[in-house]
Structure 1
């Protein structure tokens, strides 16, 4: 397709095809090519259309690749429908109607409306229908008390910052020149309700709330030809415009590059008034001393991503940084017990963080709950420490478990009380493993019994709960923990 690209460029340069003017920089756009898909733009005229067909015919004669005109579509923007139909009939094209799709993406419709995303959502849903939760590994190292599964918000923000990195790093690419022609040279200044302005706003907000450091994109100055003097961070940890704001507002040419400010190994500014004042002279002297420390070289300027050792942008490094500042942290690390099923490990993690969907927790986040009392005893507000330690059923099960284990274990009123005792308990690793298995099974069985009451799906009876605790804890240790012991001995003395 490179031959077609050159043919179109030659036709535009010869003014046979006019193309369209984009933005305010007199940027002329005539065609876009992706793989074997071609979109050709031009002013609406029969002459331009005939020349386009001539270029396609010449391309066929030279390359042997024929464009199927009957499968092509002719679209008119701001043109009467009858004219579009007439032109299409004269060329053999089909009449194109908006909205349409290009490379699977809707074009010509307002994507701010949720309903216009339904096709894409359905497409992704069909591909994800066979997805299973067991494809996710939740057993990776944990540093903040989580399951090492990053938030979708952080991932989305990281992808948006990839656009900023490419905008800065690939300034000669066509799409960057189109964006600059429409929205201006400065990334941070794009305003309005366009998709690009929304991307810029999201990136700017990420810095504003501290999710990413403001100097995450640093510049290694070469010639200074592509570095904005005031706006880019090329010296210090913030832009010169933010640190020397008074001088910035006095400068007439605020968007000049560094190279444009340098003159005969010195610096040249054009101020909006002749006398800038003694205070501004002091600021100018401070700024001059700082920038004169920078060494310039006869090479291109390079941008460095501060979150990776290689200095190149990666979505993962941005996502990890945003997650670290966005997600709530926990002082203790999450422990993943191999002898417990995955769903029980996840339950225990949520239990420790007090993030179980109990009635009080749901009410605390604003959900309308008919009742916040414990569904087991119907006497006290249902929160974690009551349901699993203070409720009459929980107290009865804890008493049975203490007698069964045969150890001098006090009565607990909260999770923190149990953790304090367990951490100071002097016992072997094997003994602690069995205690963890038994206690976790007790909590798990209580949760299942509670859910059975709430959802009218009672599968466990009160009289069975203690026997289920003995059975589950034994099976998990034997089959998952690979510990060898006898069932009868386990029922008599587990420790």
Structure 2
């Protein structure tokens, strides 16, 4: 993720106008909203020297940008894209530099906000001497893992105590992926194809033509599926 800073835009990890892998990542972020997950908000800046973290526009103090926490101050700030290092310096003590404003005197409300802002910055724990980086809020370690993201997605749908499916290492990856898609109803059965705008003459099962070709019908209720399950039960001596 070391190239991510050049792609930032208003706290976003990537701009969809940027071509290449990050464009696809930006688009994927929208799909996480189906699980109630705002992907961009799960990553926050871990500030060290402040050389690559934007003061107002990046999430580094709490869960929101300072632009959103102090909108009145951001409105009158002259340098809206300044970096943390431009306003904070380290020495024997942390020094919060003067911010350049677009007007000579701040209002009482703005002055109060400025005092609150200074308190927040002063109390923040900087990783002095280290480069800025990213921290994922989905795990206490701060490191992103696919396994943990899958768990969060499963919890958002079924609750904390239900697991969508186990990711078995002895099963081929394509089988694991297929089962995952199956349980998410993401396989190309006719209702899903029609929902995507694909013109079809009928939504019935293309094998038995007796019922709508739902995911459940294809794998459990279709006459052909039942015959396959029956053979499997005889092979493995399982009672259906």
Scaled by the length of structure 1, what TM-score is found? 0.33
| Aligned equivalent of 2:112, options 282, 287, 298 | 282
Corresponding residue for residue 460 of structure 1: none
Corresponding residue for residue 271 of structure 1: 101
- 1:220·1:302 contact (CA, 8 Å) conserved in 2? yes
Q: Distance in 2 between matches of 1:200 and 1:346?
A: 23
Alignment gaps of 5+ in structure 1: 1-161, 169-178, 180-185, 337-343, 389-439, 450-464, 482-493
Corresponding residue for residue 447 of structure 1: 224
| Aligned equivalent of 1:303, options 127, 130, 133 | 133
Corresponding residue for residue 166 of structure 1: 3
Alignment of 1:10-409 (within 5 A): 162=1, 165-168=2-5, 187-188=8-9, 195=19, 199=22, 203=26, 206=29, 209=33, 210-214=37-41, 216-221=43-48, 223-224=49-50, 226-262=52-88, 265-294=95-124, 299-306=129-136, 307=138, 311=142, 317=145, 321=149, 325=153, 329=157, 333-334=164-165, 359=190, 362-373=193-204, 381-383=211-213
Scaled by the length of structure 2, what TM-score is found? 0.59
Q: How many residues get paired?
A: 217
- 1:361·1:383 contact (CA, 8 Å) conserved in 2? no
Q: Distance in 1 between matches of 2:225 and 2:150?
A: 36
Instruction: Pick the structure with more helix per residue.
Output: 1
- 1:225·1:258 contact (CA, 8 Å) conserved in 2? yes
Counterparts in 2 of 1:291 and 1:470: CA distance versus 1, 3 Å: closer
- 1:229·1:240 contact (CA, 8 Å) conserved in 2? yes
- 1:219·1:303 contact (CA, 8 Å) conserved in 2? yes
Give the CA RMSD over aligned residues. Answer: 5.2
* Higher-RCO chain (CA-CA 8 Å, sequence separation at least 6): 2
